[in-house]
Amino acid sequence: MTAGVAVPQVVSLRKQLPLRHFRQLHGPEARHLFHRQPEPFGDHADRELLAIALGATLYAPATRPDLAVTIGKRAARGVCSMVIDLEDAVADHELESAKRQTVATLDLLATSEDPNPLLFVRVRDADAVTEIVEQLGPGAAVLTGFVFPKFDSTTGPKYLDALERAAGLLDRPLYGMPVLESPELVHRQTRDDELTQIAALLAQHRERVLAVRVGATDMCSTFGIRRDRDLTIYDVRVVADVIADIVNYLGRVDGTGFVITGPVWEYFADHERMFRPLLRTAPFAESDAVPFRQYLVSRDLDGLLREITLDRANGIQGKTVIHPSHVAAVHALSVVTHEEYSDALDILQVDVGGVAASEYRNKMNEMRPHRSWARQTLLRARVFGVANKGVSFVDLLSALVKV
């Protein structure tokens, strides 16, 4: 223990209020949109459910002067997970003051009467984990965990050992989220060995690992690439191949894998388009929301929506975001459709194999191959809810944007 540093008095801390996705939607509007309302959750929830509940994880620089106020405002607008960033967002000469502000912000948020998001701190090295935890007072109650950048087989053991010590000191659940982005992982000739070692390392600390995050920006940097706003990360083949291998090694649903979260979408401003927008007009015309489509296109959110859809198709849940305008898009597309929910229930109510037509009469449900999908879908339904029949992501997104 560092001399003169206060030990967190966790036994006397006020219990943190539960979170709930879409809590900014109320009354008739919520009943119109949801067949099944999202359930409340907190950082003491089951680890797998909590990982799904992360949704859009918003980053904020630790140097931001109004950090505590900003976190409170974002929570009120529906953000359920945030990262206080001490790494790339902080200049070297500001690091020590940023650490102090991080501790002060967490301590201040612990006094809030409103629910705080799940809060993580992205550190630069393993030593910072212990340093921050030892300085925390009441803020220990609102710290969900740490994000570990450039996590690999060399840095990983130090990060995870520091996390274990920190959890023991606070005597409460504390999670780590490694970010996979190192050159050893990106380079084809070292990737398989690196992923094998990372998989074994994470398995040793399974109960402490909440989710595995993908750092696509650093991956692109390895090749001097910056993807264009008209393209998704899956159009950048050298990075898409890495993501596929990460999911293959670490995203299995046989009990050995973890929730993998999607990489950041970098764009949020108006610009001149080179290619046609990625959003079809038809779903918006059906919802009488063609002007809303133009709003999304003008802010580059059509590309984000496309990438979120491809994330899900490739076995990825949730997403890192750097701008508040991206949160609603991630969450609207995380809601389980009525059709998905109906299929999942049909599949899981039968213990034997076989094939049956969907209730919607537009596909066949295979009871054994689709069970893992159905189980994941019902987990997502618990924290993001189920849309009413006929309610589309356009209805959900437009409701969130106007709140």
Tens digit of pLDDT for each residue in 69-125? 999 999 999 999 999 999 999 999 999 999 999 999 999 999 998 999 999 999 999
Would you state the pLDDT for residue 292? 53
Nearest-Å Rg of the Cα atoms of the chain is: 21
What is the amino acid identity at position 260?
A: I
With the C-alpha atoms ordered 200, 205, 210, 215, is the resulting torsion angle positive or negative? negative
d(CA 400, CA 361): 31
Tell me 2's DSSP state: -
Domains of the chain (ranges; CATH) run 19-332 (3.20.20.60), 338-384 (no CATH)
Alpha helices (runs of H) in 172-299, residue ranges in sequence order: 183-186, 188-204, 216-222, 237-250, 282-286, 290-298
d(CA 368, CA 108): 50
pTM of the full predicted structure? Answer: 0.90
Position 318 pLDDT exceeds 90: yes
d(CA 199, CA 107): 34
Contact 275, 230 (CB under 8 A): yes
Tens digit of pLDDT for each residue in 119-158? 999 999 999 999 999 999 999 999 999 999 999 999 999 9
Sequence-distant (6+) residues with CB within 8 A of 115 are 16, 17, 18, 19, 75
Tens digit of pLDDT for each residue in 164-180? 999 999 988 899 999 99
Would you state the pLDDT for residue 357? 83
